[in-house]
Amino acid sequence: MPDRFRILLAQLNPTVGDLAGNADAARAAWREGRAQGADLVALPEMFITGYQTQDLILKPAFIADAIDTLTQLCAECAGGPTLAVGGPFLDETGLYNAYWIFEGGAVKGRALKYELPNETVFDEVRLFDQGPLAGPIPVGPLRIGTPICEDAWHEPVAETLAESGAQILLVPNGSPYYRDKFDVRLAHMVARTVETGLPVIYLNMVGGQDDQIFDGGSFILNPGGKIAAKFPVFEETLRIVDFTETAEGWRCEPSQIDSHPGPWEQDHRAMVDSLGDYFRKTGFSKAVLGLSGGVDSALVAVIASDALGPKNVRCVMLPSEYTSDHSLEDAVEVAKNLGCQLDTVSISGARQAVSEALAPLFAGREADVTEENIQSRLRGVMLMALSNKFGEMLLTTGNKSEVAVGYATIYGDMAGGYNPLKDLYKMRVFETCRWRNANHRDWMKGPGGEVIPARVIDKPPSAELREDQRDDDSLPPYEVLDEILEALVDRDASVAEVVAMGHELETVKRIQNLVYISEYKRFQSAPGTRLTGRSFWLDRRYPIANRWRDKG
């Protein structure tokens, strides 16, 4: 009779700093594993603390509290399956990102992360010490190697584990989402199983943490790169998998293989879940936003409704004399379609009062963008007042195209606590609206159908801060602007390379300059959902004072 080994994999959503809550989730998973006859229950990287902790992990009191929580968890999970869980480890040699193995009320083993990522959103070199290259940990009849997240993206750790007798590789992860990330992960794990000849378990967490969203999508590969199990994306999942010893070694028995939705749905799910978790993990339950009748605020209203439920979303129209009738009509229709509360607060009186107060100082000067920005800032004042009075977090609505070139008013329409569109270019905003109108899923709390009227999507974008204003008065058409920005921002292309794509030199140089001079605005902007590998915040860190320009 061949040996068998049963593992419960826990693709769960921890909360940074909620040590007790995360430990409760680990205990619940362990009890479920015990009920299902598991030999091992495994949770993701740094699960006890939540991930990423950033500099919170450097506080000695937090480290001590986390290790005390792990010690208590070890004692409480003594009479049942082995428990594997991520958390910090501190000794006289340093502070480590560790993976703990608890068995029978004692620490059976501990893996320390060797490859510390130090790019994009990761900064682990300054937070943790590098662990040693070490061997596998025996659990029942198996010797399990545990490369921690980045360890499995490079050859040395897995190779060392295989050479020292590992029979399977269990990879605990805190791997955040960006578009098409699953294919990147899969390619790396296929390389590891081909190199080592061992099965690979890739266990990822789910849930939002500030700008990052962890999408799960855990999977298991047998040698040769064949997928034996595949978990859903974005869903908390507890699942049993069985391994059997064969003449060729241990193999995962065929298990459930979930299909993953396409990138449009995954992006929308990422924005919905990150907003929902940001609210839940910061203690908010209701949102407020300015609903202008434009496409960006309409999409944010939909995302908020899908995340929180329409009854928890307050939409506010803030008209001035420049607000068109069709914008007011479109805002009313969006709110009605969603079932959200809609209030109207005119800024005309406040604008007149501010203009009169400033008139002596502005005398003799022509009206310009200053007066336009006063309107935007008054809207910010009104919305923040509602936020304060009713305890509703204000959502900002600027897309990545606007955020990139500074086409937004600081302390005006940039005011707020979270921006789900921050990493979504304008052309993708249009397409996301069309996708959402045509699709509805069980995880969406908002209604189905055409929630965003076609006219909102198709009309020329305008800030409506002066008569007959259009965005393309100041910027290239969005299909042109986005192509330039994707090259300059997402791919770090040179001006010459962008010109070679067919764009005019002066246009590219102007857009480049706008990106650089808007850095101070982004530095003060709200966090927002990360959808790409070059989002604004931790992915892309530029100086505010910067005189260099690529001349092309």
Q: Are 478 and 461 in contact (CB under 8 A)?
A: yes
Q: Model pTM?
A: 0.95
Q: Where are the domains of the chain?
A: 4-259, 264-471
Q: How high is the pLDDT of residue 472?
A: 67
CA distances from 374 to 34, 327, 399, 411, 519 (A): 62, 20, 21, 10, 21
Please, what is the Cα angle at 187 between 182 and 191, to 5 degrees? 145
Quote the CA–CA distance of 373 and 351 in Å, as a whole number. Answer: 11
Catalytic-role residue among 74, 77, 103, 113: 113
Helix (H) or strand (E) holding 5, with range, is strand 4-11
Q: Minimal CA–CA distance to 532: which of 458, 497, 482, 496?
A: 482
Residue 45 among the catalytic residues: yes
Write the DSSP assignment of 37-69 as a string of letters. Answer: T-SEEE--TTTTT-S--GGGGG-HHHHHHHHHH
Q: What is the 3-state secondary structure (H, E, C) of 200-262?
A: EEEEECEEEECCEEEEECCEEEECCCEEEEECCECCCEEEEEEEEEECCEEEECCCCECCCCC
Q: How many residues does the chain have?
A: 552
Q: How high is the pLDDT of residue 173?
A: 96
Quote the CA–CA distance of 162 and 196 in Å, as a whole number. Answer: 6
Question: In sequence order, which residues have a C-beta less than 8 Å from that of residue 474 and are 6 or more positions away?
Answer: 407
- Each of the 552 residues of the chain gets a pLDDT tens digit; together they read 468 999 999 999 999 999 999 999 999 999 999 999 999 999 999 999 999 999 999 999 999 999 999 999 999 999 999 999 999 999 999 999 999 999 999 999 999 999 999 988 999 999 999 999 999 999 999 999 999 999 999 999 999 999 999 999 999 999 999 999 999 999 999 999 999 999 999 999 999 999 999 999 999 999 988 999 999 999 999 999 999 999 999 999 999 999 999 999 999 999 999 999 999 999 999 999 999 999 999 999 999 999 999 999 999 999 888 777 788 899 999 999 999 999 999 999 999 999 999 999 999 999 998 988 999 999 999 999 999 999 999 999 999 999 999 999 999 999 999 999 999 999 999 999 999 999 999 999 999 999 999 999 998 776 656 666 666 677 899 999 999 999 999 999 999 999 999 999 999 999 999 999 999 999 999 999 999 999 998 889 999 999 999 998
Catalytic-role residue among 74, 103, 115, 149: 149
Q: Are 50 and 92 in contact (CB under 8 A)?
A: no
Residue 113 among the catalytic residues: yes
Quote the CA–CA distance of 181 and 51 in Å, as a whole number. Answer: 18
Q: How high is the pLDDT of residue 1?
A: 46
Position 298, amino acid: A
Q: Minimal CA–CA distance to 399: which of 439, 430, 435, 375?
A: 430
Decide whether 4-259 matches 264-471 in CATH topology.
Answer: no
Instruction: Retrieve residue 530's tokens.
Output: 């990360």
Q: How high is the pLDDT of residue 521?
A: 95
Residue 551 among the catalytic residues: no
Q: How high is the pLDDT of residue 463?
A: 63
Instruction: Retrieve residue 281's tokens.
Output: 């993990």
Catalytic-role residue among 45, 103, 115, 402: 45
Is the alpha carbon torsion for 511, 296, 459, 535 positive or negative? positive
Q: How high is the pLDDT of residue 326?
A: 82
Q: Collect contacts of 540-544 with beta carbons under 8 A, ≥24 apart.
A: 540/489, 542/516, 543/519, 544/519, 544/520
Residue carrying structure tokens 């102007």: 510
CATH number corresponding to 4-259: 3.60.110.10
264-471 folds as Rossmann fold (3.40.50)
Q: How high is the pLDDT of residue 479?
A: 95
